[in-house]
Structure 1
Amino acid sequence: MGLQQQVMEQMKTAMKSKDSVALESLRAIKSALLLAQTESGAGGNLSEADEIKLVQKLVKQRKDSASIYTEQGREDLAEPELAQAAVIEQFLPEQLTEEEIEKVVVQTIDAIGASGMKDMGKVMGIVSKELAGQADAKTISTIVKNKLS
């Protein structure tokens, strides 16, 4: 079942249970999917990788907003953002732990013979493709920097 069908099923459930946070989150996913499908060049269909990127973007937006609200002492606004992020994360593949990411990074560094920060772009490109949807770029970047420096 595609992402759009999953979202629609979850929306029905959220409407029946009157779960406003889940409903708002699911509507955001549906809206983003429709926008992406109607963009020029999309051809009406999105690949699974594109769907994952879209969902990751939505989660990142919510988490970034929550961190800004927290910095400003607005916990009342941060909590709903984090709740929405949790709902949206359900549609992502299971996230890898830092140890698992580190293992992939070390294997990649050994495979291409990376020796310093000048090779960070190569390593990031390979690891990001390999772990698409399973880890966020910020975590990968941090681990790559630690291993190459």
Structure 2
Amino acid sequence: MSLTNDIQAAIITAMKAKDKETLSVLRMAKAAISNKQIELGHDLSDDETLAVLASEVKSRNDSIADFKKGKRQDLVEKTEDEIKVLAKYMPEQLTEAELDDLVSQTIQQLNASGLREMGKVMGVLSAKTKGRADGAKVASLVKTKLGAQ
């Protein structure tokens, strides 16, 4: 069963359970997936669907930062709950240690030495971490490690 079908089944379950919060988040995710399908002109693969879900999670994380600046704890908690719903459909996120090891291994494999090779390292890492780590976090870690060499 595809990820899109899983989300549709979860929408039906949430409707039957009268779980308005979960239903709302899943409907927004389904709408984002549908918009991407229209944009691309074909049904999305699971990888493409994961990319849409990752984008939804990222936008919510950005919103949390803004809500914290505005001292809106109620909205922070609501948005964190939305992320928890979406996280059920995302792959397991890499821990800090796993990400650090992966970055170090990739730098060694490519014999990268210096910031001018960051693009090459990020190209390989983005494929390895797709949907499992925030790109900005990966880029920051790569920049730190390459800058130290």
TM-score where L is the length of structure 2 = 0.93
* 1:81 and 2:83 aligned: no
Map Cα deviations across residues 97-127 of structure 1 (whole Å, 9 max, x no partner). Answer: 1111111111111111111111111111110
CA contact (8 A) 2:91 2:132 kept: yes
Match of 2:102 in 1: 104
CA–CA distance in structure 1, aligned partners of residues 14 and 45 of structure 2: 26
Instruction: Tell me the residue number matched to 2:91.
Output: 93
Query: Does the CA-based 8 Å contact 1:102-1:143 persist in structure 2?
Result: yes
In the TM superposition, residue 59 of structure 1 has moved relative to its aligned partner by: 0.5
For 1:134 and 1:70, the matched residues in 2 are separated by 25
* 2-structure distance, mates of 1:67, 1:107: 31
> SS of the counterpart of 2:101?
helix
Does residue 12 (structure 1) correspond to residue 12 (structure 2)? The answer is yes
Q: In the aligned structure 2, how far is the partner of 1:29 from the partner of 1:126? A: 28
Q: CA deviation at 1:74?
A: 1.1
Q: Partner residue of 2:121?
A: 123
Q: Is the 8 A contact 1:21 1:80 kept in 2?
A: no
2 CA distance for matches of 1:72 and 1:62?
A: 15
AA paired with 1:13? T
Residue 57 in structure 1 maps to residue 55 in structure 2: yes
Aligned equivalents of 1:15, 1:58: Cα separation in 2: 21
Tell me what 2:26 maps to.
26
Residues 24-53 of structure 1: per-residue CA shift (max 9 Å, x gap) = 1100111011111111xx232112221111
Aligned to 2:69, which of 71, 77, 87?
Answer: 71
Letter of the 1:64 partner, please give it.
D
Aligned residues: 147
How far apart, in 2, do the equivalents of 1:65 and 1:131 lie? 23
Structure 2 letter corresponding to 1:70: K
TM-score, length-scaled by structure 1: 0.93
**How far, CA to CA, are the matches of 1:96 and 1:66 in structure 2?**
21
What SS does the corresponding residue of 1:118 show, helix, strand or coil?
Answer: helix
Equivalent residue for 2:3? 3
Alignment of 1:124-139 (within 5 A): 124-139=122-137
Work out the percentage of aligned pairs sharing the same amino acid.
Answer: 38
